[in-house]
Structure 1
Amino acid sequence: MKSFFQLLILFTIFLFPSLLSATTLSVAERLELNQQHVADMLAHPEVLVTASGLGYQEITAGTGARPSELSSVQVYYHGRLLTGQTFDKQLAPDEPLEFILHQVISGWQEGLQLMREGGTARLHIPPELAYGAHGVPGVPGVPPFSFLVFDIELIRVSGFRRD
């Protein structure tokens, strides 16, 4: 039992602060990380950077319809911060999330309209197309001024579509 407490104390003193600092950044550090990420996106020819600042990286080309803002879509997704911390993903791995495209953040609206049904992509969403200066409180939450990275598979498009 004594060794368990010794390990707990070592974790608390040495490991926990380093894990916390890896995911808890000051606003200035987050903004600097965002700038570096934009530079990295611009340096990679496979990432299309749109006029709004969205980074779109097609992983697998789809062959179906493209959604419009009024389309209902089904997706699998995984969202993380630039630190690598997962902050969101669909709850059940076998149940895609379904929503009308105009009901989500601007980065998803723009990025999903670049995809075709059956395709997968990575969206690099700057704070102004996501949750901006407010972030999303909670555990794990999205801190203010967070750049978000989503891996998305567009399963189905219904309703008004662009072909």
Structure 2
Amino acid sequence: MRRRSVLLAVPALMLTAAGCGDDDKGSDSASSSSPTPSGSTGATPSASATAAPKIVDGPVPAITAGTAFGQKPTVAKGTGTPSTDLAVKTVVAGGGPVIAAGDYIQVNYLGQIWDSAKVFDTSFGRGPYTNVIGKGKVIPGWDKALVGKKVKSRVEMAIPPSLGYGSSGNAQAGIKGTDTLVFVVDVLQRFNGKSSATGTKVPQSDKKLPTVGANTDGKAPDITVPKGVKPPAKLVSNYVIEGDGAVVKASDTLLLQYKGVVWDTGKEFDATYRSGELAAFPLAQLIKGWQQGLAGKKAGSRVMLVTPPDVAYGAQPPSGSGIPANATLVFCLDILAIL
């Protein structure tokens, strides 16, 4: 199945015409049992999933191996009758920030069926999974169980059908409508409107290029365009802060903080910092300057892009954007995560 790309707060300004209208296009591949909601899995949670569920502390099956945070767990088969309520146990209490509804969380997880202990999906060994929590972008059991937990926690949950894939189950994943699901989730990171790049500051010594602030307090960095300097004719893509995450591929969907200004005036025309909401979109659907300038960069980084008109909007910028025709644009982008 195709993992549904989040595409929250996507500025239409940044989308090419080819990218509009299909929020699945360009999203990455995952197994059919990723904990995404109806629409991704084909299953529709029952109406009871929308009501506030009762959360109990068990029963949950024992973790018999890989018990430490970060290790791939082995989980025993459930014994007895599982709770009809949402059972949640904090196995390892993390010391990081508390997760709030609307945050993006990056996790590793393992999911199996209570009665058989059959593992139907795991991100351990495949790479972390990132999505919005508490906003209906994952199955209801995840939304309810993980909000309020702390980063670096390991959480085990037993999710009844009404808070999983509903009475229809998920045939492609081998999940019946009567199956209670068991998940072990390691919360690696969380991202919100106050998140910034992390990594090593890189010197900005070329006086013919803009300088970008290296603050990591979640506030919009300053972009200073050199006065009286002709903009470069070719794309410039430089690290301001170099992270140590995975290398961005052209096919990736990215979670970003960003700000854009016009070279000639220094005037800001768009920024995620205005709304306090992050932007998530497939790189392949964005202007050529972003596609070419971000591919090959590392997650966790802050990148300064100078995009000449031929890799930006050329003679036809979006109506109402405040971008002049044939403008060179300067962007500051924090690559928070690869979705």
Smaller-chain TM-score bracket: 0.5 to 0.7
Give the match for residue 97 of structure 2.
none
Q: Which amino acid aligns with 1:38?
A: P
Establish whether residue 104 from structure 1 lines up as the match of residue 104 from structure 2. no
Q: Find the counterpart in structure 2 of residue 125 from structure 1.
A: 307
Q: Counterparts of 2:228 and 2:318 in 1: how far apart (Å)?
A: 17
User: Shift of the alpha carbon at 1:114?
Assistant: 3.2
- Partner in structure 2 of residue 146 of structure 1: 327
Q: Contact 1:81–1:147 (CA<8 Å) still a contact in 2?
A: yes
Aligned match of 2:270 in 77, 82, 88? Answer: 88
Alignment TM-score, normalising by the size of structure 1: 0.63
Deviation at 1:34, TM superposition (A): 10
For residue 37 of structure 1, the aligned residue among 215, 228, 231 is 231
Pick the structure with greater CA Rg.
Answer: 2
- Give the aligned partner of residue 27 of structure 1: none
Instruction: Verify the 8 A CA contact 1:107 1:130 in the aligned structure 2.
Output: yes
Distance 2:229 2:312 in 1: 16
Flag the 1:121–1:38 CA change in 2: closer, same or farther, 3 A: same
Give the Å deviation of 1:105: 0.2
Q: How does 1:2-41 map to 2 (within 5 A)?
A: 36-38=230-232
Structure 2 unaligned regions, length at least 5: 1-226
Distance in 2 of aligned mates of 1:113 and 1:92: 26
Contact kept, 8 Å, 2:237 with 2:294, in 1: the verdict is: no
Structure 2: distance between partners of 1:35 and 1:129:
20
CA distance in 2: counterparts of 1:34 and 1:97, whole angstroms: 33
Once the two structures are TM-superposed, the CA of residue 35 in structure 1 deviates from its matched residue by 7.7
Distance in 2 (CA, whole Å) between partners of 1:61 and 1:54 is 19
Distance 2:228 2:291 in 1: 21
Residue 59 (structure 1) aligned to one of 237, 240, 257: 240
- What is the number of residues matched between the two proteins? 111
Whether the aligned pair in 2 keeps the contact of 1:63 and 1:118 (CA below 8 Å) is yes
Looking at structure 2, the residues matched to 151 and 104 of structure 1 have their Cα atoms a distance apart, in angstroms, of 15
Two-structure CA RMSD over aligned residues (Å): 2.0
Pair 1:157 & 2:157 matched? no
What code does the residue aligned with 1:120 have?
Answer: R
Checking the alignment, whether the CA contact within 8 Å between 1:136 and 1:144 is kept in structure 2 is no
Kept after mapping to 2: 8 A contact 1:127/1:145: yes
Q: Is the 8 A contact 1:59 1:120 kept in 2?
A: yes
| Cα pair 1:69 1:101 within 8 Å, conserved | yes
| Cα distance per residue 1:12-63 (max 9 Å; x no partner) | xxxxxxxxxxxxxxxxxxxxx9981218xxxxxxxxxxxxx21112101110
Aligned partners of 2:261 and 2:330 also within 8 Å:
yes
Q: Which consecutive unaligned segments of at least 5 residues does structure 1 have?
A: 1-32, 40-52, 159-163
Residue in 1 that maps onto 2:254: 73
Q: Please, what TM-score do these two structures have when normalized by structure 2?
A: 0.31
SS at 2:232's partner residue? helix
More helix per residue: 1
Q: Which amino acid aligns with 1:72?
A: T
The share of aligned pairs that are identical, in percent, is 32
Inter-partner Cα distance in structure 2 for 1:114 and 1:136: 27
SS of alignment partner, residue 36 of structure 1: coil
